[in-house]
Amino acid sequence: MAKRTLVETVINNEPVELLCEPRQSLLEVLRDELHMTGTKEGCLTGDCGACTILVDGRPVCSCLMLGVEAQGHKLETIEGLATGAELHPLQRKFLEHASLQCGICTPGFLMSAKALLDKIPRPTEAEVRYHLAGNLCRCTGYDKIVRAVLDAARESG
């Protein structure tokens, strides 16, 4: 077994210490080491956004970051989006608008949408489409995803 490195990070507001190999991506660390499988692998090249998490509030493809690079940073993943038993407004709106079919892209979309609403609380449709362009969905044609994000913004604003 290759040498493992200690990484101290914060995931969904909890301090986490973990061991990983330097060659493991942050996506692999989340999934294979921490079994936080809510973050999905779609392409491993940063082209589909299924593995989107927030690093210090910015959306990042966790497949294009090494686990060791997480040292000292704050990570947010889909597992931390709801607060206790209460869903984030985006999660609720995705359900109400039937914004998911297979659901594999949903965690990534939700994290990208959260980054957007944290930055621009009342985005236009064009802004929503621009900010979600790094996330591919093959099921929905995006229509119901865009509606859900706009509705979540409307409700929170």
Least distance CB 4 / another protein (angstroms): 11
Q: Which of residues 119-138 bind another protein (CB under 8 A)?
A: 128-138
Cβ–Cβ < 8 Å for 125, 150: yes
Shortest Cβ distance from residue 150 to another protein (Å)?
11
User: Is 47 one of the binding residues for another protein (CB under 8 A)?
Assistant: yes
91 binds another protein (CB under 8 A): yes
Residues 13-32 that bind another protein (CB under 8 A): 21-25, 28, 31-32
Using rule CB under 8 A, residue 36 touches another protein = yes
| DSSP assignment string, 85-153 | TBPPHHHHHHHHTT--SS-SSHHHHHHHHHHHHHH-SS--HHHHHHHTTTS--SSSTTHHHHHHHHHHH
To another protein, the closest distance from the beta carbon of 78 in angstroms equals 4
| Binding of residue 60 to another protein (CB under 8 A) | yes
Burial pattern 43-57, b for ≥16 Cβ within 10 A else e, equals eeeeebbbbbbbbee
